[in-house]
A and B are shown apart, each in its own frame.
Chain A
């Protein structure tokens, strides 16, 4: 049966014509893809465009229409005395968190890919900070860092760091409060980086390292000469994900300190929330959040480059 005959048959048969259309790959592909793309355009792309419009307007929760005011909103957002503190905190929070995460996750990935008794239990415990909803684990940390009943106070008294009956105020002093937020975030995002690195480690063929061992290369030599360089693309991916999730996170700050004491732990994400939702100032909140956009765009660009390089190989 020729193509012309076949399609004529399909048309003649009426109801079967639809089936023919759906049998054509050129139409079927876009037809199956379209609903998902349209949904994402509506709930991700459209609000993202709106966020830009808000940031160049003076919209509040109560207002009915947008008035464009150019860069005035951005200028107002940046001139807020708290803004620079918030910006600095965001970068300190992200950089220190990722520094510890990269160090710990590399070691942890090696530990968890090795064979030892009780490995499943260690893996279960290590994953728990990631699987637990962040707001709930932050509540646990709030109690663990309590100013009177913290178990760390008891250890500190035992070791003589504080006098008997003395306490450490974790969340009430700016330095310690920032340290606590970073500790919570490291604890929480470490499993993600570890899992990504573990996947990368198992993908490295063992014979490369084995051959080097036969040639007399010791553990450290093999680690720094072979395994870590082979692991570095995967490590970059883990780092980029970690940065995106930490840079834009507000849950740890919101539950643990509320940005305090003063604004010592306020980050851009929590600041945008307080301005936009609690203060009702949608335009300034949107501007505060969008200041993160160039950084995120840069990270996405790096990820895409890694992905396209993988495609070429």
Chain B
């Protein structure tokens, strides 16, 4: 009995030690960024003292400078417009496709679903050169709409896979009952299946939106004027001006985006995993 207790205590200590170690490893860069963004220059550029202690009062001047004197808010606005437009395109195309694959196409639905998901594995690295030329041909270079057109290429495969899972989890009888009640199949789906799958659909909206914020290579290749840039490209190119680094503002620009996105992810992660594995279960 004593041996067993000793073993559980040892296990607990190991567990907490590992948990703390991983939390520190993952969180340290963000802690460092958060400490930096409030520092005065005289405090920041003095390597002699303990860097984890602020020797001068915290200041918000670099954050207001970021918001007022740089195109940062324009970058954020561009991200919002791009994200919303891509969400609309993605849902409009992948919701019908997922329904067809989950309910109407039998064994072929399974296979085509996997084939569509595999296109998610075609990396932007192989596509950005031809796409950048095509974007120029249709006259969308330097425009946020070039990104709106290209991003569904990776959001549709993932969304279709997730939605397939969520739609399958809605019992067939419900829409069949609605059809017996006199609705056409489409009406039955829109009235019964989509409302029941709504939590799943919202999850797909959240992940589609955050996925569009992750892209770096397309935005870097297609857009070169700061008014059309996204946060991902604007911060490392425009906000780093030549050899002058405004580190406090740069750290603030990263933290301001990182925290809300991380919160959103954490709220929806469980449902995301559920959808991902549901897609792999036969209907």
Contact = CB atoms under 8 A, between A and B. Distances in A.
Interface of A: 19, 22-23, 25, 28-33, 35-37, 39-40, 43-48, 50-51, 54, 59, 61, 104, 107-108, 111, 114, 116, 118-141, 143-144, 148-149, 151, 153-154, 165, 187, 190-191, 195, 198-199, 203, 219, 244-245, 248-251, 254-255, 268-269, 272-273, 276-277, 282, 285-286, 289-290, 292-293, 296, 299-300, 303-304, 307, 310-311
B24 to A, nearest CB: 8
Nearest to B248: A143
A54 B130 contact: yes
Contacts of A37: 97, 116
Interface string B211-242: 00110110011000000000111011000100
B232 A136 contact: yes
Contacts of B247: 143
Given A111-B22, A133-B257, A140 B32 contact: yes
A222 B150 CA distance: 48
A32 B123 contact: no
A293 B126 contact: yes
Interface stretch (B43-51, B61-69, B170-178, B196-204): B43-51
A133 B232 contact: yes
Given A121-B23, A144-B33, 15 more contacts: A28-B186, A43-B153, A51-B130, A108-B22, A116-B16, A136-B235, A136-B254, A137-B29, A191-B26, A195-B273, A276-B128, A289-B125, A292-B123, A303-B121, A311-B110
A127 B130 CA distance: 33
Contacts of B100: 28-33
7 contacts: A31-B100, A43-B150, A51-B130, A108-B18, A111-B15, A131-B261, A290-B126
B205 interface: no
B114 A307 contact: yes
B30 interface: yes
Question: Which 6 A-B pairs have CB atoms at the shortest separation, nearest pair first?
Answer: A29-B104, A50-B130, A36-B97, A248-B123, A32-B96, A43-B153
Contacts of A114: 15
Interface residues of B, number: 100
Interface string B117-142: 01101111111111111101000000
B236 A255 contact: yes
Contacts of B47: 148-149, 153-154, 165
A140 B33 contact: yes
Given A116-B19, A127-B265, A153-B47, A286 B213 contact: no
B261 to A, nearest CB: 5
A128 B282 contact: no
Nearest to B7: A219
B260 to A, nearest CB: 10
B180 interface: no
Nearest to A45: B119
Contacts of B233: 135
A300 B118 contact: yes
B262 interface: yes
B88 interface: no
Contacts of A119: 19
B81 interface: no
Contacts of A108: 18, 22
A111 B104 contact: no
A143 B250 contact: yes
Contacts of A125: 22-23, 26-27, 30
B153 A44 contact: yes
A139 B216 CA distance: 13
Contacts of B101: 33
Nearest to B280: A310
Most buried by A among B12, B101, B125, B221: B125
Contact of A149 (B44, B92, B119, B121): B44
A28 B262 contact: no
Contacts of A151: 32, 51-52
Contacts of B6: none
B27 A128 contact: yes
B121 A54 contact: no
Given A133-B257, A143-B250, A33 B105 contact: yes
A32 B125 contact: no
